[in-house]
Amino acid sequence: MNRLAGKVAVITGAAQGMGEAHARLFIEQGAKVVLTDLNEEKGSALAAELGDNALFVKQNVASEEDWANVIEKTEETFGPVNVLVNNAGITMAKNIFDITLEEYRRIVDINQVSVFLGTKAAAASMMKAGGGSIVNVSSMNGLVAGAVAYTDTKFAVRGMTKAAAINLAPMGIRVNSVHPGVIATPMVVQEDTKAVVEQFAKSIPLKRVAQPEEVANMVLFLASDESSYSTGSEFVIDGGLTAQ
């Protein structure tokens, strides 16, 4: 079933982890996909594996110039953007006394400013296509507290999603946020954190962490026309954590 047939999508942070899962599923469902990331080696290899309907563009998501370049290359190669997945993000496990201003601002730039820049750049392209869908990957920590800086930015993404949804609705552009819990990405399941994650999983109502593909299925739904009446909303994928 080609649920994204004829659609052109941009996915940030797509070289690995959740971004890679989104890209693979989008290609399977008929989209043309532009993958962006700072990791040129992994991003280029993935795009090559995915075939002619995939293009890799190296990008610093906090750079307005890089966003202009991504949109330009997307339109030149595949046409106007129909879907944007603001997936790129970083975290840091430091308390408010230990984190420096420089570290704080870096997280804000990558997790928050990038969503503003991406939404602004992609929306202009989507207007040429007659509308589109923007999916902002926030976190369960956009709903409940977690690490300082990370939580701050993920709450901000949730707010920006609602503001942009109202702003862009007259142009036929929908904006929604996705709020994953603990996902089995390379960062989470590496050896030095694996035992901690396995222990934490016992506190999740569904008693397990999620696979990246489970988040990708939700992102696919929001990218597709199946969610045509959903905008400005939160979609939670946390195994019941925030329901406790």
The per-residue pLDDT for 221 is: 98
Q: How far apart are CA 16 and CA 185, in angstroms?
A: 8
Can you tell me whether residue 66 is helix, strand or coil?
helix
Q: How far apart are CA 161 and CA 144, in angstroms?
A: 17
The per-residue pLDDT for 185 is: 81
51 phi/psi in degrees, rounded to 5: 100, -165
User: Which residue of the set 56, 67, 150, 155 is catalytic?
Assistant: 150
Can you tell me whether residue 153 is helix, strand or coil?
helix
pLDDT tens, 191-238?
656 777 888 889 999 999 999 999 999 999 999 999 999 999 999 999
The per-residue pLDDT for 116 is: 98
Matching residue, tokens 């862009």? 168
**Cβ contacts of 163-169, under 8 Å, gap ≥ 24:** 164/119, 164/123, 164/134, 165/231, 165/232, 165/233, 166/232, 168/119, 168/123, 168/134, 169/231
- Concerning whether 229 is annotated as a catalytic residue, the answer is no
Strands in the chain per DSSP E: 8-12, 32-37, 54-58, 83-86, 132-137, 173-180, 234-237
The per-residue pLDDT for 196 is: 79
> How far out from the chain centre does Cα 231 lie?
16
pLDDT tens, 160-198?
999 999 999 999 999 999 999 999 887 666 665 677 788
How many other CB atoms are found less than 10 A from the CB of residue 243? 8
Matching residue, tokens 């902002």? 136
pLDDT tens, 120-137?
999 999 999 999 999 999
pLDDT tens, 42-83?
999 999 999 999 999 999 999 999 999 999 999 999 999 999
Matching residue, tokens 């995915």? 50
The per-residue pLDDT for 197 is: 80
User: What average pLDDT does range 143-151 have in this prediction?
Assistant: 95
**pLDDT at 39 exceeding the cut of 70:** yes
Q: Is residue 242 a contact partner of residue 143, using CB atoms and an 8 Å limit?
A: yes
Q: How far apart are CA 103 and CA 149, in angstroms?
A: 9
The per-residue pLDDT for 223 is: 98
Q: Which domains does the chain have, with CATH numbers?
A: 8-237 (3.40.50.720)
Percent of the chain with pLDDT over 70: 96
The per-residue pLDDT for 20 is: 97
- Strand-pairing partners, residue 175, are 134
* pTM of the model as a whole: 0.96
The per-residue pLDDT for 194 is: 73
